[in-house]
Structure 1
Amino acid sequence: SPRALVIRDGETIRIAGREVVVGDLVILQEGDRVPADAMVLNSVNLLADESLLTGESVPVRKREWKNGDAGIVPGGDELPVVYSGSMIVQGTGVIKVTATAMKTEIGKIGKALESVVEEPTKLKSEMGTLVKRLAIIGITLCILVIIIYTITRGDLLKGFLAGITLAMAMLPEEFPVVLTIFLALGAWRMSKKNVLTRKPAAVETLGSATVLCTDKTGTLTQNKMTVTRLYNGEDFHEVVSGDNFPEPYHEIVEYGILSSQVNPFDPMEKAITNIGDHFLKNTEHLHSDWAMEKEYPLSKELMAMSRVFSPTGSAERVIAAKGAPEAIFDLCHLNKEIVLKFEKAVAEMASSGLRVLGVARAKLTPGKLPSIQHDFDFEFLGLIGLSDPIRE
């Protein structure tokens, strides 16, 4: 089972997830699997992937538990609870276990599934009804033949045999064979479209469907983000593997990487890091030797995060920020005309099905760090457009 980092008797120890009990304090970090349902006592930019529980692939943000919180239902942002089986994709937190095993939300679903009874398909039900009607008709005619034959010929035994013969002739013995052949033909035709049918009932279900609804992320797409387009405030650049990477776009990727985790788990941060490794390797734009001093996490009020670095050999601090474009515009204190210009660029990228992030930077001379991100003098660098490739 997954391992859990718990605090017991003032000591931090790592145990198997199945050994976690109610009341345990668990430390969550990026990449951890949540071992049980729990309330969030402390969090820093905590994001969880709850697709196993809710089916929604987009990570949800967690907040800290407040007095009066009750009746929390899984699903949605800004909830003060995490659920067993979910994955931490960003940030850190400390939680207090409230439910384990079958008492967790995922456990309740498993228990409910045990009581589910498989219903017969429509074809099977209709076929059963037809067979019953034919059987009733066959038995009725069999009895009539026996009675009429006995009365007219005076031989009960031969009448009984004649009635049985008629009933057997009416029984639809070929139905199972016909159904099996036709369902097999349907499965064969579906295999030509690269669809493997495990159960014959699926052929009937798909054959009677008029509208097919499916979610996009992870089903039609790979759920692997890729940087495909950049905007530097003036021009767009389509990112193509193996193509030249123009200098005016280097700083967008540079500061996008600085504002991401060192070993990211989030798909968008992974995509930004990958493009940096591909195009900026062995350049002055990658700073693995810089020390991070402070991180300003995303919040409900400001959907942007900033990280403060101390460059090697310099007393000046560098701040990298990324987040929702409107939040970055706000941090940069742009005037309305420029914001309208950049919003058109965001709309153009979004109309192509891209997720858009804004990137900004700031510099600070030695001194006390401000308490909020708005106190930095940010400069807008550009936009990053990310796509989720279609499955092949």
Structure 2
Amino acid sequence: MRRGPRREGAFRSRLHEPRTAVVIGRWLGAAVLVCFLTGLASHLLQDPPTWLRDRLPPRPVQGYRITQGLHVISGIAAIPLLGAKLWTVYPQLFAWPPVRSVRHALERLGIAVLVAAMLLEVFTGLLNTVQWYPWPFPFRQTHFWLAWAATGGLLLHIAAKGPEIAEHWRRPVPPLAGRRAFLGAVTASVAAVTLTTAGQTVPWLRRLDLLAPRRPDIGPQGLPVNRTAVQAGTTAVPADWRLTVVGPRPYTLGLAELAALPQVEAELPIACVEGWSASARWSGVRVRDLLDRAGAPADARVRFTSLEADGPYRVMEMPAAYARDGLTLLALRVNGEVLDADHGYPARVIAPNRPGVLQTKWVVRMEVL
């Protein structure tokens, strides 16, 4: 007989039972599926494999804003769901004997890996939304592979528990007392964290944006920034700044010469991996016009280089589909004003359906590839 606080009969709540676990598990599974698929879309847009690089579409214009917004919203919603799910099943940790067979041992090991991967995934993702990285490993690559581990472990767990899930899928008669109140409390928790954070990407929820790390309407020229000119070391733009365009017919342009070219205005979102996004009116020169002047082939990729001295996105490559899109600009102004230093003065890239880290600021060079 086990003794102490975890002895037989110590868990008195009747809600530590399969039906409650199945209901919470359905909600958690839906959140994880949305989070995984939208996260995969974000990863492929930000760091595409070679075979996909030139096939990525610049439309829909709001594509990345929607998918990354859903990614962060579903990831935050998964936190209270994961807590409720673990509370429902945690007495199983103290089952006796702890291992009944080799199969049972493997099942428990798989659950341990699944729980560890899920906890790491949601909490490192949450800290990423505030750009806090108190760990020695690279966030983006670790987050990507943890997503595969967590999702794969979840699918294996569902397969192993399939018969039990099927048995408790439908509502029992009579219902268990207290279950409806518990599920209502979980629903209210999910709604609360969603409504108070989703406003950083959903405009009509902005008034409720109490807990999100960003207000998309606060910042220089009405837009937030992740990396300032001070952080990038670009506060002192050379007085003789010129844009260098390298191609079959290379040339350079000063700021006044760029401003004298035909200007195009487009309303485009700036959307960042942390989950915030905001639309603005950008105006500047079409990238495809600059490429045509350089004699670039229609299928050429373009490499942009920033004035930044260093940084992982100082150099950015853009596929031809984006470079040739009529909405892709080398922007000189935003919301009717000359770009603020924090928004990339004297010139920056803005393109549809692109992660914010690829909207290169402080551009000094374009190279036809």
Tell me if both proteins adopt one fold, taking TM over 0.5 as the criterion: no
The structure in which a higher percent of residues are helix is: 2
Bigger relative contact order, structure 1 or 2 (CA pairs below 8 A, ≥6 apart): 2
Query: Could you tell me the TM-score, scaled by structure 2's length?
Result: 0.24
